[in-house]
A and B are shown apart, each in its own frame.
Chain A
Amino acid sequence: MAQARLPRVNSAVAALLRIAGDLRGLPRPSFKARLAADLSKNVAAVRRRTVATPYLMIRDAARAINFYKEAFGAEELMRMADSSGHIAHAEIKIGSAPIMIADEDPGNFNLSPDSLGGSSAFIHLYVDNIDAFAERAERGGAKILEPPSDRPYGDRGAKFADPFGHVWMVATHMYDVAPQQLKADWDRAVKAELAAAAKPEGYYSITPYLQVNGAARFIDFLKAAFGADEVMRVNDRDGSILHAQMKIEGSAVELADANEQFKPNLTAIWLFVGDVDGVYERALKAGATPIHPPMDQDYGNREGSVRDPFGNHWYIATPLPSAAPWPRELRSVTPYLHPKGASKLIDFLKEAFDAEEVARHADERGAVLHAQIRIGDSIIAMGEAHGPYQPMPPALHLYVPDVDSTYRSALRAGAKSMYAPRDESYGDRSSGVTDPFGNVWYIATHKRVEIPRMPNQRQSALESEPATEASAAIMPFMYFESAETAADFYKKVFRARELHREVEADGHVSHVQIAIGNTNVMLCGATAAHFEEGVAKGHVRTPHQLGGTPLHLYVHVPDVDDAFQRAIDGGSRMVNPIKDEDWGDRCCGVQDPFGHIWYIATPLGQVRR
């Protein structure tokens, strides 16, 4: 039509007119923007159908909504209440998270935590800033169950209880952790926990077990040279040491007199101390012979080494201040092996004990100069045998989570069995193998036993409570001809732990304090002079002197049958046979070789049948 009125229009103008005609349908930008906003609202609605939304039942929902606004910064989206204010349905939003709320309605099984006595579901919520959130929540009246802390899965999270009984886990996501990583971390933690549970307290995974001729003298040497502490000592009837545990710089060393079954062995130990030169001097004074004097080594230690009078090597070391830190698992007492064919030994350790290689330095021909191998929470060091450092295979006490499976994998890897896993009376399940390099492995899993308590029995005052409380705990003082002999007996029969002993100048042991379970007992063996004096005063009498005892002791043990057997084996006399008693214990009575009378019991619920 335009053309009809403008007959002579040129083609350029015609094109412009066509453009103008086409533009008649140009959409309004405001419409485009409005529709975008509408769609965005619907996106929220569509999304909402795809997630589970918490629907909180609350006693006094109206007050709760106020609380959530105040403490959690919630926004109220809707509320449907009847004339009495009872909220049938309400929706709030915390950040972008929708939450539905209703007043409880017990008639319809809508029960609040107040009615149920708790809630079995937590609400997990992500927020932008957990620390700010926690501050506001606490001000608003939320109870902080766990303050904000960094979590291993990449969140910084906290846990709150609101006044209405609901529990909130609120977090800010800091970084992503790959699911495989999380799984690996978790598995490692579970393994570590298992490994920790499989060790007695105070033990790392690996403890050298030194078998020597003259263990008592060896103990004296360790004390004099390295300031070792004696933790326990078990004597055999012939006076030889069946088993002893020492601690050097916090690490355990076990030792025993060698015998037919357990032959003497030689061990090399990498010993980390604070003052190399001082300890080196003391070791020499105590009878050791030098291998080489302390020197700064280029691998980061100052080290000096000695041979002790029993032939064991001690590589005494301190990391130099400039050195990179050693791995945490390198304990103060670390066995050092000098095998022929170290790389083969490493393969064996990996296969048998799930060991990991922490470090390996080899020469150009591949011979291992130095390697560190981690097993559990400990490290074994080694270097290929050379020069004065020829193989000296030690015995190593290895705690593992599952002795049976480790024993099997050790045999598969080429070890020879000494004895298959068996339950030991001291609470371990243990086995012995010799590896292809002659090293002896005592593989064990510790069975942790909870010592049962008598009702109202107090925690031992001396162990864990302040002195003022001590008066509330009764510690029996018992009299013996020899406190030392008595202590050995009770260690064997009751698995008593020695806490302390007092030795007179003449070597006579006057007092041994032991713990049976969590009760402390003082064993008194007076010197002849003291004894006479005590007798004269009329308050020191052994049962034998008195012809009996008016004081009987009732003791709980993990396994009454076992303890009874040990008591009898040790020379006790049965007073009462083992019986399930109607007060809830399986119990027996014995008179020990010293005349004291014990009732030994295990609660019926814990008796192993």
Chain B
Amino acid sequence: MVYTIGTMARRASASTAPDREPDEHRLIEAAQRDTRHFANLYENNFERVYAFVFRRVGDRHEAEDLTADVFHQALRNIGRFEWRGVPFAAWLYKIAANEIADRANRVVRQSAVSDPADSYEPCPDAVENRARLYRMVDTLPPDQRRVIVMRFAEEKSIREIAAQIGRTEGAVKQLQFRGLQNLRLRMGENDGEAKA
């Protein structure tokens, strides 16, 4: 299955468990032959990179900028990637860590404050888990998904959401509750034992 980059945005991809991509090696080789196939790698790793970066910087705009930088850099350098059996995500995390460090250094130089020990690496499991949660949102029933996305990704208030989708605030809260509950259940199912 090969997707062109144009279909990336349309493709709902939550069904793939992140750590069980069968032929990552093949996808990488395809992208190295023809960068149009980079779309598959982007699709499979977007949430991971975003989750990684967000955990480090904690700010949505900065996370978006960094995620964009990571993927642009990965696309430019995909030809130089050498497959050694390490997941592709590890390479992306490395790019992301460098980007974050670069940014921090720039900020440090500007503010003349030095904190070189800033080498906190997020735990890979935690990142995977978070990425999986993000993808799980796409599997929710449409009305729940809409509310969850508006509430958490677009950071809208219950009232704004209610106005926009033409439901009562009570109904919105109810959808949000059921959405969260569904996510908890599904995370638990996929996880075996929920990491509570």
Residues of A within 8 A of B (CB): 11-12, 14-16, 18-20, 22-29, 31-33, 35-40, 42-43, 46-47
Known A15-B194, A19-B133, A46-B75; contact A36-B68, beta-carbon cutoff 8 A: no
| A32 in complex: contacting residue of B5, B46, B75, B133, CB < 8 Å | B46
Bound Cα distance from A36 to B42, whole angstroms: 8
Task: Name which of B112-120, B159-167, B180-188 contacts chain A.
Answer: B180-188
Are B71 and A27 in contact, with the CB atoms below 8 A? no
Q: Bits for B123-141, please: 1 = Cβ < 8 Å to A, else 0.
A: 0000000100110010000
8 pairs of residues in contact across A and B, judged by CB atoms under 8 Å: A23-B152, A25-B63, A27-B46, A27-B50, A28-B149, A32-B9, A35-B64, A47-B34
Chain A residues lying within 8 Å of B44, measured Cβ to Cβ, are none
Are A42 and B72 in contact, with the CB atoms below 8 A? yes
Q: Bits for B36-72, please: 1 = Cβ < 8 Å to A, else 0.
A: 1011001000110011001100001001100110011
Bound Cα distance from A417 to B148, whole angstroms: 95
Bound Cα distance from A302 to B111, whole angstroms: 105
Are B39 and A19 in contact, with the CB atoms below 8 A? no
Known: A16-B181, A42-B72. 13 other contacts (CB 8 A): A12-B184, A16-B177, A19-B187, A23-B133, A25-B63, A27-B63, A27-B67, A28-B149, A29-B149, A32-B8, A37-B5, A39-B72, A39-B75
Are A43 and B5 in contact, with the CB atoms below 8 A? yes
Known A38-B68, A39-B42, A43-B5; contact A16-B180, beta-carbon cutoff 8 A: yes
Are B72 and A38 in contact, with the CB atoms below 8 A? yes
| B35 in complex: contacting residue of A11, A24, A33, A46, CB < 8 Å | A46
Chain B: interface residue total (CB-CB under 8 A): 43
B181 to chain A, nearest CB (A): 7
Chain A residues lying within 8 Å of B38, measured Cβ to Cβ, are 39, 43
Chain B residues lying within 8 Å of A31, measured Cβ to Cβ, are 64, 67
* CB closest residue in chain A, given B149: A29
| B196 in complex: contacting residue of A15, A23, A26, A28, CB < 8 Å | A15
Are B55 and A25 in contact, with the CB atoms below 8 A? yes
Are A16 and B184 in contact, with the CB atoms below 8 A? yes
Bound Cα distance from A36 to B55, whole angstroms: 22
Q: Does B154 reach chain A (CB closer than 8 Å)? A: yes
A278 to chain B, nearest CB (A): 67
* CB closest residue in chain A, given B46: A32
* CB closest residue in chain A, given B55: A25
Chain A residues lying within 8 Å of B84, measured Cβ to Cβ, are none
Bound Cα distance from A261 to B130, whole angstroms: 99
Chain A residues lying within 8 Å of B67, measured Cβ to Cβ, are 27, 31, 35
Bound Cα distance from A516 to B189, whole angstroms: 98
* CB closest residue in chain A, given B151: A23
| A47 in complex: contacting residue of B36, B71, B153, B183, CB < 8 Å | B36
| A22 in complex: contacting residue of B46, B60, B130, CB < 8 Å | B130
Bound Cα distance from A16 to B178, whole angstroms: 10
B179 to chain A, nearest CB (A): 9
Bound Cα distance from A42 to B133, whole angstroms: 29
Q: Does B6 reach chain A (CB closer than 8 Å)? A: yes
Q: Does B76 reach chain A (CB closer than 8 Å)? A: yes
Are A26 and B152 in contact, with the CB atoms below 8 A? yes
Bound Cα distance from A27 to B134, whole angstroms: 8
Bound Cα distance from A22 to B127, whole angstroms: 11
Chain B residues lying within 8 Å of A29, measured Cβ to Cβ, are 9, 149, 153
Bound Cα distance from A227 to B131, whole angstroms: 91
Chain A residues lying within 8 Å of B8, measured Cβ to Cβ, are 32-33, 36, 40
| B9 in complex: contacting residue of A36, A43, A46, CB < 8 Å | A36
Bound Cα distance from A15 to B193, whole angstroms: 13
| A40 in complex: contacting residue of B5, B153, B183, CB < 8 Å | B5
Are B76 and A26 in contact, with the CB atoms below 8 A? no
Chain A residues lying within 8 Å of B39, measured Cβ to Cβ, are 36, 39-40
Bound Cα distance from A376 to B183, whole angstroms: 76
Bound Cα distance from A12 to B194, whole angstroms: 11
Chain A residues lying within 8 Å of B36, measured Cβ to Cβ, are 43, 47
A50 to chain B, nearest CB (A): 8
Are A36 and B130 in contact, with the CB atoms below 8 A? no
Chain B residues lying within 8 Å of A37, measured Cβ to Cβ, are 5, 9
* CB closest residue in chain A, given B11: A36
Chain B residues lying within 8 Å of A14, measured Cβ to Cβ, are 196
Bound Cα distance from A15 to B194, whole angstroms: 9
A23 to chain B, nearest CB (A): 4
A558 to chain B, nearest CB (A): 58
Q: Bits for B60-93, please: 1 = Cβ < 8 Å to A, else 0.
A: 1001100110011001100000000000000000
Chain A residues lying within 8 Å of B130, measured Cβ to Cβ, are 22, 25
Chain A residues lying within 8 Å of B75, measured Cβ to Cβ, are 39, 42-43, 46
* CB closest residue in chain B, given A23: B152
Chain A residues lying within 8 Å of B152, measured Cβ to Cβ, are 20, 23-24, 26
A16 to chain B, nearest CB (A): 5
Chain B residues lying within 8 Å of A26, measured Cβ to Cβ, are 134, 137, 148-149, 152-153
Bound Cα distance from A29 to B67, whole angstroms: 13
Chain A residues lying within 8 Å of B187, measured Cβ to Cβ, are 19
Bound Cα distance from A47 to B32, whole angstroms: 11
Known A19-B180, A23-B148, A43-B35; contact A28-B153, beta-carbon cutoff 8 A: yes
Chain A residues lying within 8 Å of B51, measured Cβ to Cβ, are 25
Bound Cα distance from A36 to B7, whole angstroms: 9
Bound Cα distance from A26 to B34, whole angstroms: 31
Bound Cα distance from A511 to B77, whole angstroms: 87
Chain A residues lying within 8 Å of B148, measured Cβ to Cβ, are 23, 26
Chain B residues lying within 8 Å of A32, measured Cβ to Cβ, are 8-9, 46
| B47 in complex: contacting residue of A15, A27, A35, A47, CB < 8 Å | A27
* CB closest residue in chain B, given A47: B35
